[in-house]
Structure 1
Amino acid sequence: MTETGSAGQRTRAWVVECPGPIRSSPLRRVERVLDPPGPRELLVEVGACGVCRTDLHLAEGDLPPHRAACTPGHEIVGRVLAAGLEVRDFAPGDRVGAAWLASTCGTCRYCRASHENLCPYSRYTGWDIHGGYAGHTLVDAGYAYPLPEGPPDEELAPLLCAGIIGYRALERAQVPPGGRLGIYGYGASGHLTAQLALSRGATVHVLTRAEDARRLALELGAASARGAYDTPPEPLDAAVLFAPVGELVPVALAALERGGTLAVAGIHLTDIPALNYQQHLFQERSLRSVTANTREDGLAYLAEAARHHPTVHVQRYPMNHADTALGDLAAGRITGAAVLMAR
């Protein structure tokens, strides 16, 4: 374990050494010297880190590297070991979470208008700064979330991205009260977002390729669960696309009722085929993207999750098996969320 406050402290961490197909082993485990926390930073001992599809996109090069040999992971649950001199809201021993949004400028027109997710100078955990596939990491205290003491680390970790981005996707999809929602793709985000929508009174139809995921969807309250390209049993008032498959965009648009909205929640999507205006967009159907999240989204979702207590379906991996976890995610062998456990 790192000795808090000592010079030259070190931690074990995974880095994306050379982005490429997961079979080419783009991740490498290294020992890295940790910088002490800056005035507004927290030094966090990682207890668990969720495995997000964005991590896979970064490892495989679908998203261009922002930092050489960066440590992935942005669903971090841990304990504060040390806090910078200007930190007032956290102290050593506090349980905290770190998510995808790592920092923003705070002064651009988007930040001033409460749209910090669109800040041109935003930085991201596991892309611009080192993330949670490590024993320890540094977190900007202004972007850390206080976490309750009750739930285990592995159940909180997926909430910090899969849950938060699902919350924002629901807001963007504009699901009407008591509306019919389609969820395309039922991984970490899908299974949390479906439960959030159900807690709000929506009827949820799941459309996904994996049979295990369809079974889980029905167990957790979905009204139906069909194949990704199937037609839902009734027209949809709204839909969220989590699967990074552009071919599903026209499929989901065609399933919408008049005035319905499709929100595309992924950071990466394969090419979208040509759309037919009459079939896919006419009758005021809307297509919207989802870009990251604001801190307000995070706080709102965590508060709502504390009220409706989602069932978090977790597959656990030791931290030293991060490459295996990403390989299983790439191969579709994970149902629910994968989480790396530090202990």
Structure 2
Amino acid sequence: MFKEYLLEEIDIMTQSLKFIYLGKLKSLIKFTRYDSIRSDVENILSSEEPLETRLKNILNNHSDLFLEVNKDITINKAHKYSAIFALEGDVNIDGILRDTVIQTSGLSIEKMAEKKMLKFTQFLNGIKPLEEGTLYFKTTYTMCAKFWEITQYEEIHRFVEITVDNVGPQFRDGKMSFFPNRINYIKNFIETHNSLLLVPIDFSEVLNEIRKENEAAEVRMNVPKISGQRMVLSSGSEATLQSNISEEIVLPILGDLKQLIRDNENLFNTSKDIKELLNNFIQDTEEWSEFPWINLTWDNKVKSKSIQVKFELNNYEYTFLNYYHHKNGRGRVDDVVKYLIEEYCTTRNRILREPFAKIS
């Protein structure tokens, strides 16, 4: 079934992805384990046939080689959407990876112990109605569960990040709910087959801390920039600002007021009642307003290494992460996830310790 779906998937691949397959096939065939087929593969790859025909010929005649390239591409690419869950209890990640079943209906599962990851593949059928008839498509669809473990304050914290790939509307009935439904599907699978409890993480407190950092006079190294935000006041008024990864933005409404106070500090110091009223308004508005989504950008000295992530806060139990298009692969996403779970642990420990600090 895998081969059948991949053959049709090649037809709907983007041209850039086809060239990625071509490049990786040319690199992989140089390894000694493929000595016996190298000449035939090189002849196919160097032919003047259309690129999709060459890829199909490799898949048909040398499927092991093609599937190895497919695995490498799918586990190293950055998927489009994700959510992060805390693992409850004294769980053993190596044991989870070892004990996960790999035989299940309608789902192919691969274990990658060295990456602390499970790769899930589903086989999707799609349709696209046209005036002259209906087009039918097949494609493989990948989802991953990556396990994380960090130590902080002499405590070990474990997490699982579930990521799902993007796919065309013909495979999801044009509904965005397809992606959170896939995340929930993998969450339920892991809980059921491994007897685990995955607790959804809401990153609101972490994002509030990042928002405060962005407004500080001096921002710590590696703190992401807010590059977009939607704010809904208790009155129902809304404000939305968005920028690209190279622009600075002033946050909606409150950012303007805070900047006004900073720029005219001497004037406001002579009118402390007005300054207090404005500060109280800002504090109350921040406390009672909703932020349906916020964009963060992790900058890099090399501009092409920057990555922008949208955090959707109100639609699901967890914070839904949407990675905007970038070419940095899985590695740059790992940087983002590591930052988030470390900040989450720091924030949670601070909140837990605050009541005791106040009592003392």
TM-score under structure 2 length normalisation:
0.21
Q: Which structure dedicates a bigger proportion of its chain to helix? A: 2
TM-score under structure 1 length normalisation:
0.22
